Structures are given as C-alpha cells and as structure tokens.
Amino acid sequence: MQPCCSSQIDRELVENEGILDENGHFNGFGGYMRAKVAKLKHQVHNNVVLKSELFKGLSIYVNGYTDPPAFELRKIFTENGGEYHHYYNHGFTSYTIASSLASLKFKNLRKGEYLLKPAWVTDSILFHTVLPIESYILKPSAAPSAQLKGGVDEFYQRSRLHLISTLAQDLKIFVAELRAKENPEFPSRSKLEGLGDEDGFKLDENVICHIDMDCFFVSVALKSRPALKRKPIAITHSRDANGKGYAEIASCSYEARKFNVKASMWMNEAVKLCPNLICLPYEFDKYKETSKILYSIISKYTLDIRAVSCDELYIDLTSLCKKMKISDPLKVVKVIRDDIEATTHCTASAGLGPNMLIARLATKKAKPNGQFYVNQKESSNLVKNVKISDLPGVGYSAMDKVRSELGIETCRELRKVDVKRLQEVFGQKQGKKLYDQCRGISEPFELTELTNRKSISCDVNFGVRLTTQDDLTAFLADIARNLASRMKSAHAKGKTIGLRLLIRSPGAPIEPAKYGAHGLCDPISKAFHLTEPTNDEQIILNTALSLVKHLKPVISDIRGIALQASKLDFLLFCKKPEATIELSESQMSLHQFLPKRRKNEKNDVIDLTKEDTQEVVVKKRKKKKATVKSAKDLTQYIGKLPKPDIFFCICGHPEHELSLDLYQPPQFEDILILRCRLYRLCLWEMWYELKEEFDDIYDSIFENYRAPMAWIEVVVGIQEEINRNSVRLFGLVALPDERLSTFIKGCD
C-alpha cells in the first residue's frame, strides 16, 4: 500500500493555474472558490493509504443524508483510488450519491448527470468490481399525496424534537410506574456503604441534584466510533459540506464549540466557522436505550426522581443521605456518576443545591464531566451574578421584554425591580416567577410531575403537501391514531380536542428555501370541548374533521397540522369513583335505569306499539330567537324543568347502525346523561354548523316549562335541525313503564 495523491494538488499548482494574481491575491470570487476547492481536495486525498485502484478515474459528490454517512463514503472511495468532491462540478464529478432528492432537483438534472444510491459504493467494494449503475440510479419518489399512509410515522421516526418530547414523557411514566410498585428494592445502595458518618452525621438542608449528560447525542455516537474522539463533531440531518445546508445542529462536541459552533445553529453557519466539522446522523434507538439505562441506574439508588428529558433529571438526595447517614452528598453523586459512565460509556455532570434552580445553575459550573455543590448560604451569591437569560424558562422573547422594558441583563439588577412592575411586563405568574428566581427561590420538588402535564399533542409541520380532501382525511386519521396512542401510553384522557393548522401566507412562495419546510405561514386554530374525557382514536378523528370543516382551509395551502388533547385526566393516579355519572350498558340493568313509577300520577302518553306508527311529530309553537348557545347551557335550562315520567330516544345516522338511548331524568346525574347523549349526537355531524341552529330553540320552553311535553319539544327542536344534516329521528316519546319493554322488543 502506498500513499495516494490522486489530484496532485499543491501550492505550485494553485499559482500556475492563475488562481492568484501577481500580488498574490485571488482573481475575484471565482479564484477564491477554485482555491478553496483545491485546498479541500488536497486535504481529503493527502496521506490516504491506498488499498486498491477499484474506483480509479471516478469521482463522487455526496448530497444530503446517506447510509453509510458522507465521511464513511469518502474514506471508502478515496482508499480505493477514487476522488471525493466537496462540491459538485458538472463535467468533472462522475456521480452524485444520495438517498433522496427534491422533485424539483430531479427536473433540473442535466444530460450526463447521474444520481446513485449509496449501495453502489458499498456493493462494488463487496464484489471487488465497479458494478453497473443502472440498478442503483436514484428515482424520484411518489407525490406527497401518495405517501400519506405511514407518513406521520416516518416524520416522527426522524424528528429530533419528537424524540426529545415523547421520550421525556415515556421516562416520566417509567418513573411513575416504578413508584407505584410496592416495596421497591435499591440494590445499588450497597455501593454507598462506607460513606456514612455514624457519629458526626449532619445534614441541615434539602439536597437536590441535577444530572445532565455531557453532549449526549455526540457521546452516544462516539461509543461506536472511538476514532472520532477529540474531533469537532455535530449531530444533524445534514451531510452537506458546501455551506448551503439549512439543517439544524442538535448537539456538538466540545472540540466543535471551540470554533463557536453551537446547538440550534444552522449548518451553513457552522461550516463557515469550522470547515472540518464532521457531521454524524441521528441514532434514535441508541438514545432511547441509553436514556432508559440512565434512569434505571438512578432508580437502583432512589425513586425520588423528577424526570426532565432523555439526558437530564433531578434527584432529591435528602432522604437517601439521611438513611445512609452521609453528611457529604458529593460522595453519593460521585458514585452515581461513576456508575453511569461505567454502564453507558457516557459522562455526566452534576449540580447540587437546596432546590432545583440552584442545582441547575450549579451544573453549569460543573461542566464538563464534573460536579459542583452550592449550599443554602452560598445560593444567593451564586444567583445574583447569573445572567437573566441563563434562568430556566427565560427565552428570546422574554429577554427582548427584559431589555426593552427594563433595560437590564443580570439577576443583580433584576432584584431591584418591584414584583408589581415585573407582573405588569410579564403577567402575574411569570412576573412572580422571575421575582423569586433572581432571589434563588425555586418551585418545590414534586414527584407527581406526570399529573402536571397540561396537554398531549401531535404536530407535523414538515413535508405537509396535500391536494384533496381524501389526503387531508387520511393525514388527520394518522395524526389521530398517533395522538390516541400517546394518550394511552400516558394513561391519560382528554376533555378538549384542539386543531391547529399552518396556512401558507398570502404572497409566500409555494416552496420555501428549505425543502419540505412550512415556510411563512399564518396559524389558525379551533378547539372542541367533549362531554367526557376520551383517548379514543375515532372520537378524536371525528372531532378533528368537524373542526376542519368549520375552519374551511384551502387544502393545498396547508403546511402544518397539529392535534392537541388538553384538560387531561390521568388514570394512573385517579381512581374511578364508586358511583359514576354514566354507566355503560353492561353495568346497568333496565330496572336500575328506570326508577319505580309513582302512584296516582297522570301522564300524556303517545302509543308507538301500533305497527303503523313510525315517527312522533310534536306541534311547534311560534319560534323566537333563543338565548341557548351550547349543549351546556341547554342542560342548565333543562335542569329547571319538571321531572317527566320516562324518556327515551331512538336516533340513527346514515353511517351508523341504529341505537337506542334511554333517558330517565328524575335526578341531576341523569340530566348529565341527557347532555352527553345530545353532545355525542352532535359529534356525528359538524358541531359548528349545528351550533347556529341551536340558537333557534323555542323561547316557549321557559314560559310553559310545567307542560309534561316540554322536554320532548326541546329535544325534537334539536332533532329537526339535525335532520337537515341527514341524521334521521325515529322516535322521541314519553311512555309508562309497562309499555316500554314492548316497544324495545319491537325495535330490536
């Protein structure tokens, strides 16, 4: 094997080709770019150990994400006699290697320009010959409307933000389930034996520890790539080294940070700062595996854990230290950190303090791979020197307000601002929180963080390109399925379903600069309040379709879709009450549902036992504009009406089988049952279209509420409006007990 210098590029060649003028300056921008390309080619090919000449005379350019990634393809290709180009040069670059490409770029391909799959390189190495390219030519993918099935799953499989949010919730559930077990065991506490101080034990304050993994994504990636340690690494979707990438950096090594490369930076900015930046792909399965191991390690010491994210958590060490009689909590943390590194091969930093805020600020001083303890007496001095932007929960928007309204930067200055002034600028809650934070006061450490979750959502805002109503329905069905699955995993049900759409702004380009991105959009949203919490996929989908019909978007302009469930009930923590408002049919007998008939009571009866009776028509009174705005308001008014004898309704829908609903409302709980039935019926159609019709209910029900037929008039009034939307009413009557069973048998 000999060193290969296939391009023979050196300083003399640059000068001889006229890239530099007589003064040693570049001949314009073109000269600069030629010099840059020459330099990159020299860096790539210099001192490469040649294994074969398999690809001699050929050159490749790697575009975007590939498997194996670009740096591995470069190594393979150059070691086997080929040239690697950082920039595509038509007429000089033999092939472009890519896994996918925008449809527009396929249309703009020039004659003689070929796009090959990465397998062409690896298979050629495997078979020791340059394989024909015909079987490896990359072809355009189908139109978005044809890819809807599974599209949401594919989006989430490659979404970093989705991983972070869902994995955090999964870990919270994991911790909650561990706590729910009786008599937990802590086998790793044996590693703390010998650290206790039996005679002089003293611990006068709470000790909260904040564990944060160092460059988590990078550390996980380097476990299988030890040769890349101590090199500038970035984790991103982009593999583009030409400085034009719009992908966002999720994590970068400390070596990359020396070049001022940071997380959340665009690739085109990072490459300018660090031309030798090595980009590695996401490895979501490995992140999940390592996170689960991290939390499992901690749970073997204590279950006083507050999960935050896949690489971050809080531990209350107070009870552990007291039980083991350990006065110095740093000794405990050192054992835990060593355990984490030995098991995961990733390092972790730790900050300790009397509360979560101080512990988190202390972690910044512990980075990287260290630990730092700030006690109660020292916490005030620590916080006053902290920048306001370093406080948890203070982002760009809040800092803009701080600078524009208050003109300050540090917590020392923030302490001089009155709490009322802060609440004027930031609102009651956020203003009080800032007032407390700059004084080192934190929210309490709570173990029930799962129940504090306000909502569960599914949001897709990349690659959404729809053309027809069927496309939209299929996409919403996919999102509804994902949302229902998350809610069930979280042991939660939601009472409010919200829909949010991103609509392309007027005048915005149809396709933005970043392929697949949503671009400039205007958000529109609407929410619907259910009568009872749910995590049923079909109910969520039906609600979403109703909301879409109300919002009336131009389907081709939709660039993002989000479904959110809020007002959550957590089944893991909430036991069902003994007496529920509504019982299922399997739980309720007919005798339980219908109370005993009172003696000497007269009723107006409509007999439906005759064969020729098909429908009940109640004579309408003169309509007036009513004040009833929703089913909730309707329930309140119905509650003032007298108690009819027996009540039932048979309703049908064009897409559903007939159903028999029974109503016997002598008590308030039964009124709620009636409301639930009406609400469900509305959900079959479009609630927002029917809402205006509800305003037309009779005023006379308030004037003649003592009439025994009043309830029937209210419901029939609603049913007749629903008839316009193809919901059929088959019957609505009051019957005595002895005739009800006969009628039910006739309807089976």
Q: What is the pLDDT of residue 28?
A: 55
Task: Give the lowest-confidence range in 1-15, 182-196, 479-493, 561-575.
Answer: 1-15
Examine the domain organization and report whether 634 and 738 are in the same domain: yes
**Do strands 233-235 and 278-280 pair parallel, antiparallel, or not at all (unpaired)?**
parallel
Examine the domain organization and report whether 692 and 604 are in the same domain: yes
Q: Name the DSSP class of 598.
A: P
Distance between CA atoms of 601 and 717, rounded to whole angstroms?
A: 27
434 within domain boundaries: no
Examine the domain organization and report whether 603 and 516 are in the same domain: no
Element (H, E) at 680: helix 668-684
- Alpha-carbon separation of residue 260 from 235, 431, 619 (angstroms): 15, 33, 79
Distance between CA atoms of 668 and 522, rounded to whole angstroms?
A: 44
DSSP sequence for 179-238 = HHSSS---GGGGGGTT---TTT----S--EEEEEETTHHHHHHHHT-GGGTTS-EEE-S-
Of residues 658 and 402, the one with the higher pLDDT is 402
Domain count for the chain, please give it: 2
Residue 592: exposure state from Cβ atoms within 10 A (0-12, 13-18, ≥19): exposed
148 within domain boundaries: no
Decide if pLDDT at 114 tops 50: yes
Decide if pLDDT at 3 tops 80: no
**Residue 22 pLDDT grade (very low, low, confident, very high; cuts 50, 70, 90):** low
Which neighbouring-strand residues pair with 235?
251, 280
Distance between CA atoms of 601 and 597, rounded to whole angstroms?
A: 8
Q: What is the pLDDT of residue 93?
A: 86
Decide if pLDDT at 8 tops 50: no
- Determine contact, residues 546/686, Cβ cutoff 8 Å: yes
Is 312 annotated to bind a ligand? Reply is yes
Examine the domain organization and report whether 609 and 718 are in the same domain: yes
- Determine contact, residues 513/453, Cβ cutoff 8 Å: no
Query: What number is the average pLDDT over the span 172-185?
Result: 80
Q: What is the pLDDT of residue 155?
A: 64
Q: What is the pLDDT of residue 619?
A: 33
138 within domain boundaries: no
Examine the domain organization and report whether 506 and 634 are in the same domain: no
DSSP sequence for 82-114 = -EE-SS--TTT--EEE-S---HHHHHTPPTT--
Examine the domain organization and report whether 538 and 619 are in the same domain: no
Q: How many CB atoms lie within 10 A of CB 277?
A: 23
**Assigned token pair, 423:** 């609440």
Q: What is the pLDDT of residue 603?
A: 36
Residue 481: exposure state from Cβ atoms within 10 A (0-12, 13-18, ≥19): middle
Choosing from 570, 603, 619, the residue where a domain stops is 570
Is 569 annotated to bind a ligand? Reply is no
Helix axes of 710-723 and 687-694: crossing angle, nearest 10 degrees: 130
Distance between CA atoms of 430 and 277, rounded to whole angstroms?
A: 39
**Residue 352 pLDDT grade (very low, low, confident, very high; cuts 50, 70, 90):** very high
208 closest CA partner among 391, 450, 447: 447
Give the pLDDT confidence of 712-734 residue by residue, as tens digits.
333 433 333 333 333 333 233 33
Examine the domain organization and report whether 508 and 648 are in the same domain: no
Choosing from 570, 602, 637, the residue where a domain stops is 570
Q: Which of 175-179, 669-673, 705-709, 720-724 is predicted most confidently? A: 175-179
CATH number (domain holding residue 516): 3.30.1490.100
Examine the domain organization and report whether 699 and 643 are in the same domain: yes
150 within domain boundaries: no
Distance between CA atoms of 285 and 278, rounded to whole angstroms?
A: 21
What predicted TM-score, i.e. pTM, was given to this entire model?
0.54
193 within domain boundaries: no
333 within domain boundaries: no
Examine the domain organization and report whether 725 and 642 are in the same domain: yes
Q: What is the pLDDT of residue 18?
A: 53
Q: What is the pLDDT of residue 159?
A: 66
130 closest CA partner among 143, 138, 120: 120
Quote the strand ranges of 505-575, DSSP E.
521-534, 558-570
Examine the domain organization and report whether 543 and 596 are in the same domain: no
Which neighbouring-strand residues pair with 566?
455, 496
Please state the three-class secondary structure of 15-80 as a single string: HHCCCECCCCCECHHHHHHHHHHHHHHHHHHCCEECCCCCCCCCEEEECCCCCCCHHHHHHHHHHC
Decide if pLDDT at 129 tops 90: no
Examine the domain organization and report whether 545 and 625 are in the same domain: no
Mean pLDDT, the chain, integer:
72
By three-state DSSP, how is residue 280 classified?
A: strand
Q: What is the pLDDT of residue 609?
A: 32
Helices and strands in the chain: count of H runs, count of E runs: 28, 21
Q: What is the pLDDT of residue 41?
A: 67
Task: Give the lowest-confidence range in 145-154, 320-329, 449-458, 712-721.
Answer: 712-721
**Assigned token pair, 384:** 């006053």
Give the chain's length. Answer: 748
Examine the domain organization and report whether 629 and 681 are in the same domain: yes
Q: What angle do CA 162, 252, 437 make, to 5 degrees?
A: 70
Give the pLDDT confidence of 286-329 residue by residue, as tens digits.
998 999 999 999 999 999 999 888 899 999 999 999 999 999 99
479 within domain boundaries: yes
**Residue 34 pLDDT grade (very low, low, confident, very high; cuts 50, 70, 90):** low
Give the pLDDT confidence of 369-393 residue by residue, as tens digits.
999 999 998 998 899 889 999 998 8
**Do strands 251-252 and 233-235 pair parallel, antiparallel, or not at all (unpaired)?**
antiparallel
402 within domain boundaries: no
- Alpha-carbon separation of residue 40 from 25, 118, 721 (angstroms): 19, 22, 73
Q: What is the pLDDT of residue 163?
A: 67
**Residue 657 pLDDT grade (very low, low, confident, very high; cuts 50, 70, 90):** very low
**Residue 353 pLDDT grade (very low, low, confident, very high; cuts 50, 70, 90):** very high
Domain that holds residue 565: 455-570
Is 212 annotated to bind a ligand? Reply is yes
